[in-house]
Amino acid sequence: MAAKTKAEEIYSIVSSIIGLKAWEVTKGFAYSAFLEFGELKIDSFGRVGSDRFLSIYGLWRIETSEEVLTSVQTYVEDTRLMEVLQSIEGKELLEVTIAEPSLDTTFHFEDDLNIFVYNAHFQGNHNEAWNYIYPVDNVLSIGPGSNYSIESYSGR
């Protein structure tokens, strides 16, 4: 049996949100977006969240098969970002595609809405392009570049 590729290993984890609807879709600080999936939970501080949480950072866009609806680029923010991002609220995630070797990722939602995450790798400080917190308190981080990691996480 051949070893899994990076994309296959990442897909084997993130595919656990396929078939679930995104909720509490919000724009975070700077260029980030946050999407909750799965079961509602209340942490030890009384904060409401989910057992599956997707964070997207850096360079990304929301598109259909026909057009780019909005994009986030370094230092430039589309004024339609919030409106378009909110259109994903309540939409089912249908598929996730991960390109090799870049690990650029597309999250495909119903109604032909797609979030494309460009896994940029520039000189200087590097951060992940996206991460996924999943049961039980694990975090999958993609980036910078074609790097990824899987770690235990106790921050939520």
**45-59, 67-81, 88-102: which range is least confident on average?**
67-81
Q: Which residues contact 64 (CB under 8 A, 6 or more apart)?
A: 112, 113, 114
| Pair 36, 49: CB distance under 8 Å | yes
Q: Is the pLDDT of residue 123 over 60?
A: no
Q: What share of the chain in percent tops pLDDT 70?
A: 89
| Pair 11, 24: CB distance under 8 Å | no
Q: Which of 151, 118, 113 is nearest to 132 (CA)?
A: 151
pLDDT of residue 75: 53
Q: Is the pLDDT of residue 14 over 80?
A: yes
The full set of domain ranges for the chain reads 6-45+56-133
Q: How confident is the model at residue 114 (pLDDT cuts 50, 70, 90)?
A: very high
Q: Which of 60, 58, 61 is nearest to 122 (CA)?
A: 58
